[in-house]
Every structure is written in C-alpha cells, then in structure tokens.
Structure 1
C-alpha cells in the first residue's frame, strides 16, 4: 500500500511539472504573439493615402471672416460655408477643381483664389452662423442654418431668400441643426442650443411646431453643442453636451436617453455617425472617441490635435473610414478609424497679413460622393481661408 501511494505521488508530481511546463510555454507563445501583433499593427498603421493641397480660397481684405461650418450638398457638387461674416457662400466644387487643374502646369501647383470670384453666389444672413445643414428630400434646394441669435432659418437657394424661421430658444445661440433621415419621421428637424435643450420640430408647419424638447443634462446651464440624426435611417438622434457626455435618444420615445456616452473630460462639441453601429465624438479635452452604439462602449481614442476651448470641426468619410478635424495649432488632422494616432497632418499656410500665426482650423468637411480610392477634404480657418485637399489611395 505504501509503494502504491508513493507511485501515485510520484506520478502526480510529474504531471504537475508537465502542466507547469506547458503553462510556461503557452505564456511565452502568447507573449511572442502579442509582440508580433504589435509589430504588424505598427506596420499597418502607415498612411495608405497621398494627400495634397489642391486649392486655397482666401480674401484680400483684412476683415475677420472666421469659418464656423462647411457642408457639402447631397450631390457633392455644391459647397456651403458660413461663419461670422453673416453670409452663406455657395461654391461649385467642379469650379474649385477646375481652377486647380488650370493652375497645375504639371508641377503640382496650387490654385489661389479670392472668395469674391470663387463663390457662385452668397446669401446675407441677419446673424453670425454656427451651423448649416441641407434639408433631405428638397433636391438640394433648401438649406437650414442656426445662428448666434438663437434662430433657425431655412433658405431657398434658387430664390436666395428665407422661407422658414424658428425662434424658440429664447435668444440663446443655436449651435447645431440637423434633419431626420428615418422614414418614420423623415420631416422632423432638431436644433441644439446654449439654453441646454435639444428641440425637435416640424419644418412643414409655420413657425416650426415643437414636437419635443429634451434637456439631456440635469445642469440647466449645460449647452447642447451638437445634434445629429442617424444618416443611415434609424430612429436614433445623437446629442453632444457641455456636461462632458454624449447621449443617444430614440425619436419614438424621447423621455430618457437610450445611450449615454461618458468618457470625455471636457465639453463634447461634435458627434458624427461613422456607420450604423459606431459614432465618433469630439471634445475640448483634445481627443476624438469612437463608440460602439450597441453597448455604449468606447472602442478607441484618437489624440494628436490641439483642442482646449474652440470648435475645430469634425467630419467622417464613411466610405473610407477616415476622420478629419481641425486644431488650435492651425493644422488639419486626418485619422484612420483603425488607429489612435493621426495618419496625416497639414498646417494651414498663412494667407493674410494679420493674425495668421495665432489662427486655428475651425471647420472641416469630407465630400461623401466619389470613388473609394479618391477622397476630398475641405477645411476652413479662423482667418476665413478655405483649403481643398485631395487624397488618393497608394498602390498596394
């Protein structure tokens, strides 16, 4: 009996030693794989695009003309800009590209244009503009704006006159305007304001009948800085707030948010849908965040640009998975959704005589239409300059 017990003990000890050896080998294998994966990730993180500056549109005057918003029309042909100059300028993208082609004699020259000759036409507005958005289903004819006086206005671009006005935010600045793309409420619009509310309204009604008012933050002084409906047609509307959070609401039941995205350390200035399952947010904590809509989980954080207090723009190119934003150090940043560091950075070259070294890139917009191997990013500066960048995918 003693010998049998001794044999059992010996076999048990041997088995434990073998298991420990196997565990050690497994840990070493996993560690090696981890470093191999890191090396592969570093290799893949290289920029797959060649970007170059195509056109610069600036002004010969020294008047302040900071651009706060840039929006491409549904077809990608018309480009609208707005800012503190109290004008909606409409450009034809084909004209900007043609000017660049004429200037390029084969040496990669950049077209230098003046706003007065570059835009197709402009519409004067009664106040400084903070937001522009093309109204779906209007054939590119109607554009909505939010201004510093707390008024939402729609303009008919063919007649170049206002056709709708809504003043329900108590005179507090409207930061953002958007329209629903969901069939269940395709005529609804929303605006976010310094009054701490997001209001949904019906633009078909005279004065815009209020459908619902949402106050995301318990703090009444917490501004709503951005609203965006799901552009893929779902019932979700996203809201970015000064309380450092972004919220998602189901438009069928707005009493409580269905998503609370908590991760920024300062004001959430922008929210953008990248696809039907992910969103990107921007904050004055100097980072962008990618969120999984299904579980409100932060997937990735993007850092590199400078953003401590200003609105510097955020746009996503959905077809290519690229993120664009401005920076308070007067640079344009492009991130690939797969990696947290920028893949391309370009500084705004001075275009005027005063204050250029203290300027910043204040707005960006990707052109959503086009080929998968070519993209266009338009950026605007606090000095009023508009710069067009074209990217082409590098050969594999």
Structure 2
C-alpha cells in the first residue's frame, strides 16, 4: 500500500510595505475601517497609515515621553496609546494633521498606573480601557476620566503555602484582554498567574 503525503502550501504575497525609522512595538488594524492601521514606535510616536497610500503616514501622533508600547482603536475616530512614560493617551483622529506632527490631537492623558520598563498590556471595549501596571495591578479607565475607575491588585504566590499574599515582590501585570463587549476582563502577571475579573 502506497502512503500519500499531502502537503498544503499557502502562498503569501507582499502587496505593500511600510518602512519605519524606529522599532515598531505594536501594530493594530482598525476594526472600523478597511484601510486604516496604526503602530506605536520606540521613537515615542504613533503612526497612522491609510493602506491606499502607504508612502507617508496619514498622521503622526506626538506627545509621549518614551516608547509607545501599544495602540488600540477605541472607535472609528479615537485611538488609545500606551507608553513606558506611565501614561495612556486618547487621540481624537478628527484633529490630526496629514502633513506633519499632530500634537494637538491628544484629548486626554490617563495616569494612575506605573509603566516604565515592561510591556503591561492594553485592551479596549466599549469606551473602557484596561492596562497592567508594574505595581502588579490591573487598572481600568473610562474614556472620559483621566484616573482609574477601578484597580485590582494581584498578590504573589507564597512558594511554601501556595497561597496568594499581598506582597507584589517585583511582579507586574503583563497582559490584559476584555472579553468582547462585556464586563469581563482576563489578566495575567509576570509569574504566570491568570485571573478572570468582572467589573461590578
């Protein structure tokens, strides 16, 4: 009996290329448009591109003091960026300039979490914004309020008892994700603890 070995190939074709002058930390398609994307960069800027013309950015958002680690589209006209300068920024894309830097498009700066060296995650859902913190906490913001609306502290796991303690011990929340359009959020920290959280 002859053995048949089936191999399937998916061919990929580059249809466009964008060359960034600095490291790209995060990239995101807009779920509200078929032709918009944004990326955060190590040069402290967020770049927005229209895929119909990738020669130059559609806009360049400036205002962070360190690398932009995450970008997320909140809706069709709003972008959120996270940086290792301890801030999140809300950008009004209607106020951007297509020829140059857009520093007046920032409509709100969120503070209340600590993020100076690690990637701590960023997730958005229906006007809510969540990120991790180097204080081993999950921070949730609402799009119109500059401070967290709630915080959840991860404890550390005692290696002897296996119980959670309140000491963060240098740990940080490293990833967050909203569950669709719901009040549930999943978060993980730097030691592998994963928690399912619900806003009440």
TM range (shorter): 0.7 to 0.9
In the aligned structure 1, how far is the partner of 2:60 from the partner of 2:31?
19
Determine if contact 1:376/1:388 at 8 Å carries over to the other structure: yes
Find the partner of 2:55 among 250, 255, 263: 255
Contact 1:282 1:314 in 2 (8 A): yes
5+ unaligned residues in a row in structure 1: which ranges? Answer: 1-162, 165-204
Alignment pair present for 1:236 and 2:46: no
Task: Confirm or deny that 1:338 pairs with 2:144.
Answer: yes
Q: Which of the residues 159, 169, 175 maps onto 1:357?
A: 169
The runs of at least 4 aligned residues of structure 1 exceeding 2 Å deviation read 351-356
Aligned to 1:274, the other structure's residue is in SS state strand
Matched, 1:316 2:128: no
- The 8 Å contact of residues 40 and 47 in structure 2, kept in 1 or not, is answered as yes
**Given that residues 156 and 171 in structure 2 are in contact (C-alpha distance below 8 angstroms), is that contact kept between their aligned partners in structure 1?**
no
**Within-5 A mapping of 1:172-191:** none
Task: Measure the CA separation in 1 of the matches of 2:187 and 2:88.
Answer: 17
Aligned residue pairs, count: 179
Secondary structure of 1:213's counterpart equals: coil
The offset of 1:369, in angstroms, is 3.5
TM (normalized to structure 1)?
0.43
Determine whether 1:278 maps to 2:78. yes
| Distance (whole Å) between structure 1 residues aligned to residue 159 and residue 67 of structure 2 | 32
**Distance in 2 of aligned mates of 1:213 and 1:310:** 28
Task: Report the Cα distance in structure 2 between the residues aligned to 1:292 and 1:352, rounded to whole angstroms.
Answer: 45
Higher alpha-carbon deviation: 227-236 or 332-341: 227-236
- Structure-1 separation of matches of 2:159 and 2:192: 12
Residues of 2 paired with 1:281 and 1:322: CA distance?
13
- 1:261 Cα deviation from its structure 2 partner: 0.5
Q: Given the alignment of the two structures, is residue 384 of structure 1 paired with residue 184 of structure 2, yes or no?
A: no
Greater helix proportion:
1
1:215 matched residue in structure 2: 19
Match of 1:300 in 2: 108
SS at match of 1:294: helix
SS of 1:226's equivalent in the other structure is strand
CA distance in 1, matches of 2:83, 2:26: 11
Higher relative contact order (CA 8 A, sep 6+): 1
> Secondary structure, in 3 states, of the residue corresponding to 2:75?
coil
Name stretches of at least 5 consecutive residues in structure 2 with no aligned partner.
Answer: 1-7, 97-104, 161-166
Deviations 1:123-157 (A, max 9, x none): xxxxxxxxxxxxxxxxxxxxxxxxxxxxxxxxxxx
TM-score normalised to the size of structure 2? 0.84
**Could you report, residue by residue, the CA deviation over 1:90-133 in whole angstroms, capped at 9, with x for unpaired residues?**
xxxxxxxxxxxxxxxxxxxxxxxxxxxxxxxxxxxxxxxxxxxx
CA contact (8 A) 2:135 2:168 kept: no
In the other structure, the counterpart of 2:46 is 246
**Alignment correspondent of 1:328:** 134
Structure having the higher Rg: 1
Hey, what's the Cα distance between the residues in 2 that align with 1:282 and 1:369? 21
Find the aligned partners of 1:283 and 1:248 in 2 and give their Cα distance: 16
